[in-house]
Amino acid sequence: MSISIGQVAPDFEADTTQGRIRFHEWIGDGWAILFSHPKDFTPVCTTELGTMAGLKPEFDKRNTKIIGLSVDPVDSHSRWADDIREVTGHAVTYPMIGDPSLAVSKAYGMLPADAGSTSEGRTAATNATVRVVVFIGPDKQVKAYLAYPMTAGRNFDEILRLLDSLQLTAKHKVATPANWKHGEDVIIAGSVNNDDAKKLFPAGWKEPKPYIRIVPQP
């Protein structure tokens, strides 16, 4: 199974470092980001989980819950959390999902159906595809899906930037251009004709081409 933008994020029940959850119920009526890791006590992932912990206040400001996942059991996650705090200086205060049966990893298309039913005996290399970031909206639909190789640490500034774009464009009929950052000009969505655009943006817009209509961020 693969995950596509626009589909409903697979729901599941799982144990986490903060107790058992049903995913959709845990998300509630806000946004959520699920980010996954191939195995506990791996070097790149240690830096990532600590970075995410340090940025948690930024996600809180955006009404976005964050949750980690590794195929190892929850008790292993709890031990790993001590290393993460020691190495990065940030305590992991968000939940981390244990996926020892590989059920969640399979549901999100990170492992094939024939990968087996246990994390025991599996290495980081055999779980290499369990390195994704899934952005989920209040409607429980997947809004973005990023995959990374094991050797490249994730850029969490980009994850925040993309979240800002997703939340802005969900609220307003605009799109964000290349390298956009919060507060910069945006583009009126192509689905909005000029008559409607005049109502939405009465101050007008810059138009370097007829199909590019630039306005300040709403």
DSSP letter for each residue of 105-171: HHHTTSS-GGG-S--TT--TTTTTT--EEEEE-TTSBEEEEEE--TTS---HHHHHHHHHHHHHHHH
Residue in this structure with the two tokens 């697979």, named with its chain if needed: 10
Sign of the CA dihedral running 205, 208, 210, 212:
negative
| Catalytic residue (one of 14, 34, 45, 104) | 45
Q: Is 45 a catalytic residue?
A: yes
Phi-psi bin for 28: left (phi > 0), alpha (psi -120 to 50), beta? left
Own/partner long-range contacts of 136-140 (Cβ < 8 Å, ≥24 apart): 136/9, 136/27, 136/31, 136/32, 136/33, 136/34, 137/31, 137/166, 137/170, 138/27, 138/29, 138/30, 138/31, 140/8, 140/9, 140/11, 140/24, 140/27
How many other C-beta atoms lie within 10 A of the C-beta of residue 57?
A: 7
Strand partners, 2: none
- Mind telling me the catalytic residues? 45
